[in-house]
Structure 1
Amino acid sequence: MAHLLGAEQLRLKFPNRIVLDGVSLGLSDGDNVGLVGRNGDGKSSLMRLLAGRNEPDSGRVTVRRGVTVGMLDQTDALDPDETVGHAIVGTAAEHEWARDPRIRDVITGLVSDVPWDQLISALSGGQRRRTALAALLVRDLDVLLLDEPTNHLDVEGVTWLAGHLKARFAGGQGAFAVVTHDRWFLDEVTTTTWEVHDGIVEPFEGGYAAYVLARVERDRQASTIAAKRANLMKKELAWLRRGAPARTAKPKFRIDAANALIADEPPVRDTVALTRMATSRLGRDVVELVDASVTYDGEHDVLHDISWHLGPGDRVGILGGNGAGKSTLLGLVTGDLAPTSGRVRRGKTVKASWLSQDLHELTDLANQRITDVIAPYRVAFTSASGDDLTPGQILERLGFTSAHLATPVKDLSGGQKRRLQLVLVLLGEPNVLVLDEPTNDMDTDMLAAMEDLLDGWPGTLLVVSHDRYLLERVTDNQYAVLGSPDGGTLRHLPGGVEEYLALRAAGAGSGAARPGAPGGPGALTAGGGAGSSPASGAERHAARKELASIERRMEKRSGDAAKVHDSMAAHDPSDYPGLEKLAAQLREIQAEVTELEERWMELASD
């Protein structure tokens, strides 16, 4: 593999701290690198040094002769007076660029909905970001440096970008490095991880999942100061290994080592305890939509005849394209919006809070110190373990130290403001919580801390996010708002994000909701459209019973496999017949588990 660029003894100092101290690294053909680390630790600074955008205080960056490097910065440098087409392909005639399959693919994948002759100054923030990314990807570059490329991309856009990068560098020619908080994206496209922390860059082999394993192994040997961080990453590793069959079918790290590390780690959430506590706070009725429709301007239904039941402790992810009606649906749930027709039944004890994409909750608090902001509160919530969490404990779990408490809100970073916003929402003691794109401005460590906090929060949770890792991690069921000529409909997704992407790829933005999909937190009763055949109540009940039975059998057989492994480990290594007998038992168990997993997936997608 040819060396493309390298850094030697880079040192970068800000007025109040050293960001990088003697960092040496390099990129060669075939390198697919993900940069992780806490906000402010130097990920973007390192990338700008590698791209030649900034100069280090000492050390140097060298680029092999003839190697071309391009960078997507967090803020683009597009000319506001040029058109979208000119920004992407310059002055090239259509017949020239249209014959290049890469350029056609990029335009289709990123800007198919952006007017080609529109001025950059007239674009929305998301359109402008996608235009800047497209302008970079159409170029023939040897090295791509991407700083938060998934910002402003929906789930489909993130999936497209992952596929593009994998195909683009499949031959081992060229390299890329990416900074992103999207952990699914990191695990999908990267084969090496650089952790930037404490002025150094520590390399790890493998993508995000492998990095989590290595972090757990490293932190287990660290001092007691790192104990809380190690436990948090260990919990995340447990979730990665114990995910749905589709996730565990292709593990990207050493299975035996991972299993040993999480042997005593409980499931990430105590679902029974959470449901019990949520029911005590909410009762059995939370929110029910009955044939609810919302019409704007008296013409087009944004949502049409939606019937949906939310129960205590349900954890639901909402997917859908821009303008599909996700925010309208959430407005019906929280009571911020009334249906044009139909009804919304809301439990008497429901107290809903909405973590919005903007930070308007902090506007009037700009000049106050954090300690003054939280002073009026005593207890935030009682967790599933029965512990009363104080505001100070929540702040600590979300990365605020005692030194931060005297900081005025206006002086906090974007990520810190986002975390403080979540703290204030939780201090309001809601029992129905809506999170609208909660991952903005958060690094991977803080995302894990937020997920850990939500694991113990006893209430009904709804999450809208393009971050599929977060959706799969904190919610138990996913639904899609799908557009149709008659208005948006709601569909349960037993197959999660993968099913949603398959529906969208098949052109399903116009189908009606899928009634009574098994496994959901309640029944969907909107009318079925073309190609849907609603199952009877008896059929749904039978399917749910079989799913539960399969899950119990899978758990039992997995335990049997573990016992066989233990027997093999303790067996006399010279007793070949005995070992072969145990190996045959193990193969039989594994074959049965595979069959059960396939049947589980079949039932879940019916």
Structure 2
Amino acid sequence: MAHLLGAEALHLEYPTKVVFDSVTLGVEEGDRIGIVGRNGDGKSSLLAMLARRREPDGGRVTVRGGTRIGVLEQADTLPDDETIGHAVVGETPEHEWAGDARTRDVIAGLLGDLPWDARLGSLSGGQRRRVSLARLLRGDHDILALDEPTNHLDMEAITWLAGHLKRRWAVNAGGLLVVTHDRWFLDEVCTATWEVHDRIVEPFEGGYAAYILQRVERDRQAAASEARRQNLARKELAWLRRGAPARTSKPKFRIDAANTLIADVPEIRNRVDLQSLAVSRLGKDVVDLLDVSVAYGDREVLHRIEWRLAPGERTGILGVNGAGKSTLLGLIDGAVDPSSGRVKRGKTVKVATLTQRLDELEEHLADPVRVVIGRLRTTYTLGTGSKAQELTPGQLLERLGFSSAQLSTPVKDLSGGQKRRLQLLLILLDQPNVLILDEPTNDLDTDMLAAMEDLLDSWPGTLIVVSHDRYFLERVTDQQYAILDRRLRHLPGGVDEYLRLRAAQESARSSSASSGGTRSGSAGSTGSAASTSVLSGAELRAAQKELAAIERRLGKLSEQIATRRTALADHDQADYVGLGKEMAVINELEQETADLEERWLELGEAL
């Protein structure tokens, strides 16, 4: 593989901190490198130096002659008065950019739902991010350097971006450097990982999963080395008493050795214990949405939602921006009143919401962290049963990555990620039994995300999560629902099923728009318009009737599954035969749901 760029003895420092000290590394053709590390350790600075956007204080970066580097920075630099079209293609004539396959793919993948002549000042943060990406990706670059490319993007845009980057170059061509906290994205796109820590850059093979496996083995070996060092005097004495030591071989890293590290790790959550404790804290009734609809003026956002939250339920909510996710969360926590239908809450329910804003910290901005937590309860119970442990707020902060020195830092001087972690701590210490997390991964690095997930594994209560971070969503929840066409729909197939359904929706809309245009065009036109004539009037009515029946049946199945899962918590846990029969019934209901959803997709495509 040909060399693209190299860095030799890079040194970077600030007045109070050395960021890098003699870092040497290189990028070859075909490299797809993810850059990870704690916030503040220099990931963005490293990317800027390699892209020649920033000069190092020492060392140098060399680039192969003629190599074109495209850079996506975190900061949004596009002018508000520019249109989307001009920002993406500039003065290029339409017949030129429209004839370029890559440009068409990028525009369709990122900007298909945005008006071409809209001013950037009228767009949301996520929409502006998509415009910046489209502007960059339509260009012809040998290396792409992307700094947090998934920020503000929804799950569909992230999935499209991953697919684009995987097929953008041939296997042994081009180079990718990406700083991101999105672990699913790292695993999907990257073939190597650089960890930035303690003034160095440490390379690992593979994406995020392979990197974690190797890091665990590295830490195990380091711990073993430290144990050997501490026992040196005792071993020296034993050698003097026994004679010459036996020869030993150095341990080497092997992937199967690393696999043994996780072979005996139990399930990340004890669902039975957590659900039993949730029932004892909540009772059987949590929050029931009974035939609920919500409208703002003439626009209906949610239509006849039927959902009964169970104690201990861990659910992820999916949907495009504007689909009604925040409205659904508002129904649960009482911030939104239904336009019709009824919301029923259990008597002991105590809902808390980790919002995208930092409202909980407003009154504490001038206070040191130590003072803030000193006003709260003295202990927090983590875990269940015999594994339950009492933690002080300080110990809980340590679990969330705070050092003892940071306890004296005023809240206003904390980083975004530190404020986010303190916000979660304040909520948990209030001991809610229903927790809503609205985009909780913002501003958190991969280590802190893992710490938050570990903490949530032991939290006994009902958990509702809205997040574009696929890894986090699948990690902390046990099931997913989607808001599609104003209705709430269970997703037995999880995120993959949601993406399939959304693709089918978009395909149906495109076909409908295309067929309308074809009918009004020349009589000789063919294509999607021809497919609309496949169903006769009677067949069309029959398909629509079957589709409505399937949707009604899916709603009933969802209720039955939720009811039976709730009943499992009350079942005698020693009755393995009875529990097995109940699970068999639930599995049958879920299989019927999956079969009906497949038929729903077929009918949707036919219609």
CA contact (8 A) 2:293 2:338 kept: yes
The equivalent of 2:481 in structure 1 is: 479
Compared with structure 1, are the counterparts of its residues 458 and 133 closer, same or farther at alpha carbon in structure 2 (3 Å cutoff)?
same
Q: 1:254 to 1:137 in 2, by over 3 A?
A: farther
Q: Does the aligned pair in 1 maintain the 2:438–2:467 contact within 8 Å?
A: yes
Equivalent residue of 1:507, what SS? helix
How far apart are 1:529 and its partner, in Å? Answer: 3.1
Is contact 1:319–1:481 with CA below 8 Å preserved after alignment?
Answer: yes
SS in structure 2 of the partner of residue 23 of structure 1:
strand
Distance 1:200 1:179 in 2: 16
**For residues 207-265 of structure 1, what are the alpha-carbon distances to aligned partners after superposition, in whole Å with 9 as ceiling and x for unaligned?**
111001001100111238999xxxxxxxxxxxxxxxxxxxxxxxxx9874454111221
Query: How far apart are the structure 2 equivalents of 1:281 and 1:314?
Result: 13
- 1:495·1:604 contact (CA, 8 Å) conserved in 2? no
Determine helix, strand or coil for the equivalent of 1:149: coil
For 1:588, the equivalent position in structure 2 comes to: none
Deviation at 1:434, TM superposition (A): 0.4
- Residue 412 of structure 2 aligns to a residue whose secondary structure is helix
- The corresponding residue for 1:580 is none
AA at the equivalent of 1:605: A
CA distance in structure 2 between the partners assigned to 1:413 and 1:9 by the alignment: 29
Q: Tell me which residue corresponds to 1:447.
A: 449
Specify the SS of the correspondent of 1:291: strand
1:370·1:409 contact (CA, 8 Å) conserved in 2? yes
Task: Supply the AA of the counterpart residue of 1:36.
Answer: V
Q: Does the Cα contact within 8 Å between 2:213 and 2:259 map onto a contact in 1?
A: no
Corresponding residue of 1:40: 40
Per-residue deviation at 1:309?
A: 0.7
Pick from 427, 430, 451 the counterpart of residue 428 of structure 1.
430
1:390 and 1:211 mapped to 2: Cα distance? 33
Count of residues in correspondence between the two structures: 511
3-state SS in 1 of match to 2:263: coil
Counterparts of 2:40 and 2:226, CA distance in 1: 19
Aligned residue type for 1:143:
I
SS in structure 1 opposite 2:548?
coil
Would you say the 8 A contact 1:3–1:29 is kept in 2? yes
Match of 1:605 in 2: 594
Cα distance, 1:179–1:395 mapped onto 2, change above 3 Å: same
2:109 is the counterpart of 1:109: yes
Bigger shift: 458-467 or 384-393? 384-393
- Secondary structure, aligned partner of 2:166: helix
Where 2:315 maps in the other structure, the secondary structure is: strand
Name the counterpart of 1:493. 491
What is the rounded CA distance, in whole Å, between the counterparts of 1:62 and 1:209 in structure 2? 31
Counterpart CA distance in 2 for 1:303 and 1:140 is 43
In structure 2, do the counterparts of structure 1 residues 203 and 347 end up closer, same or farther at CA, with 3 Å as the change threshold? same
Does 1:198 pair with 2:173?
A: no
- CA gap 1:507/1:363 in 2 versus in 1, 3 angstroms: same
1:533 deviation in Å? 6.6
Question: Structure 1 CA distance, aligned partners of 2:132 and 2:185?
Answer: 19
The match for 1:130 is 130
Aligned residue for 2:347, secondary structure, equals coil
Residues 307 and 559, structure 2, Cα contact 8 Å, conserved in 1: no
**Gap change, CA 1:316 and 1:427, over 3 Å in 2:** same
> Residue 262 of structure 1: SS of its match in structure 2?
helix
C-alpha offsets along residues 531-557 of structure 1, whole Å, 9 cap, x if unaligned?
54726779978xx99xx9xxxxxxxxx
Kindly tell me: are residues 319 and 509 of structure 1, through their superposed partners in 2, closer, same or farther at Cα, counting changes over 3 Å?
Answer: farther
Cα distance, 1:266 vs structure 2? 0.9
Structure 2 residue 211 is matched with structure 1 residue 211: yes
| Partner amino acid, structure 1, of 2:462 | T
- Contact 2:182–2:469 under 8 Å retained in 1: yes
Measured at CA, do residues 473 and 401 of structure 1 come closer, stay the same or move farther in structure 2, by a change above 3 Å?
same
Q: TM-score, normalised by structure 1?
A: 0.80
Deviation, 1:422, is 0.8
Residue of structure 1 in register with 2:327 after alignment: 328
CA distance in 2, matches of 1:413, 1:500: 34
Whole-Å separation in 2 of the counterparts to 1:191 and 1:268: 27
Equivalent residue in structure 1 for 2:502, among 497, 504, 508 = 504
Hey, what's the Cα distance between the residues in 2 that align with 1:143 and 1:424? Answer: 43
SS across alignment from 1:18 = strand
Distance 2:588 2:210 in 1: 29
The alignment status of 1:529 with 2:548, answered yes or no, reads yes
Secondary structure of 2:108's aligned partner: helix
1:431: how far off?
0.5
1:463 is displaced (CA, Å) by: 0.3
Answer yes or no: is the 8 Å Cα contact 1:381–1:457 preserved in 2: no
SS in 1 for 2:222: coil
User: Aligned partners of 1:221 and 1:470: how far apart in 2?
Assistant: 28
CA contact (8 A) 2:291 2:304 kept: yes
Offset of residue 360 of structure 1: 2.1
The aligned residue for residue 342 of structure 1 is: 341
Q: Give identity over the alignment, percent.
A: 63
Aligned 8 A contact 2:352 2:432 in 1 = yes
1:353 match: 352
The Cα offsets for residues 372-400 of structure 1, whole Å up to 9 and x where unpaired, read as: 11111212344223212321121001100
Q: Is the 8 A contact 2:20 2:199 kept in 1?
A: yes
Give the partner amino acid of 2:446: T
Alpha-carbon distance change, 599 to 172 in structure 1, aligned in 2, over 3 angstroms? farther
Identify if the C-alpha distance between structure 1 residues 510 and 280 changes in structure 2 by more than 3 Å, giving closer, same or farther.
Answer: farther
1:414 is aligned to 416
Contact 1:482 1:508 in 2 (8 A): no
Instruction: Give the secondary structure class of the aligned counterpart of 1:178.
Output: strand
Give the secondary structure class of the aligned counterpart of 1:22.
strand
Once residues 558 and 171 of structure 2 are traced to their aligned partners in structure 1, the CA distance between those partners, rounded to angstroms, is 52
In structure 2, distance between residues paired with 1:490 and 1:346: 19
C-alpha displacement at 1:423, in angstroms?
0.8
> Quick one: structure 1 residues 225 and 77, their matched pair in 2 at CA, closer, same or farther if it must change by over 3 Å?
farther
Whole-Å Cα distance in 1 between the matches of residues 590 and 174 of structure 2?
38
Map of 1:368 onto structure 2: 367
Question: Quick one: distance in 1 between partners of 2:225 and 2:312?
Answer: 34
Letter in 1 for 2:330: G
Q: Counterparts of 1:226 and 1:431 in 2: how far apart (Å)?
A: 42
User: How many angstroms apart in 2 are the aligned matches of 1:131 and 1:226?
Assistant: 51
Match of 1:591 in 2: none
Secondary structure of the 2:505 match is: coil
Q: Could you say what secondary structure the match of 2:321 adopts? A: coil
Give 1 or 2: higher helix fraction.
2
Asked if the contact 1:380/1:391 (under 8 Å) is kept, the reply is: yes
Tell me the distance in 2 between the aligned counterparts of 1:468 and 1:317.
10
Partner Cα distance (2:424, 2:280) in 1: 23
Match of 1:231 in 2: none
CA shift, 1:40, in A, is 0.6
CA contact (8 A) 2:187 2:209 kept: yes
Query: Which residue in the other structure is 2:288 paired with?
Result: 288
Output the CA distance in 1 between the equivalents of 2:306 and 2:220: 49
Q: Is the 8 A contact 2:381 2:388 kept in 1?
A: no
The equivalent residue for 1:61 is 61
Paired residue secondary structure (2:218): helix
Letter of the 2:182 partner, please give it: D
Rounded to whole Å, the distance in 2 between the matches of 1:510 and 1:389 is 53
Structure 1 residues 538 and 292, CA, compared in 2 at 3 Å: closer, same or farther? closer
CA contact (8 A) 2:216 2:258 kept: no
Deviation, structure 1 residue 128: 1.3
How far the C-alpha of 1:364 sits from its partner, in A, is 2.0
1:50–1:604 distance in 2 versus 1, CA, 3 Å: farther
Instruction: State the one-letter code of the partner of 1:42.
Output: G
Q: CA RMSD in A?
A: 2.9
**8 Å Cα contact 1:71/1:144 also seen in 2:** yes
1:145-224 counterparts in 2 under 5 A?
Answer: 145-223=145-223
2:404 aligns with one of 397, 402, 405 = 402
Aligned-residue offset at 1:82: 2.1
Q: Deviations over 1:187-216 (max 9, x none)?
A: 000000000000000000111110010011
AA aligned to 1:277 is: L
Closer/same/farther in 2, CA of residues 120 and 371 from structure 1, 3 Å limit = same
Aligned-pair CA distance for 1:312:
0.8
- Counterpart of 2:369, as a letter, is I
Measured in 2, the distance between the counterparts of 1:302 and 1:539 equals 22
The residue matched to 1:265 in structure 2 has which SS? coil
Q: Residues of 1 paired with 2:469 and 2:316: CA distance?
A: 10
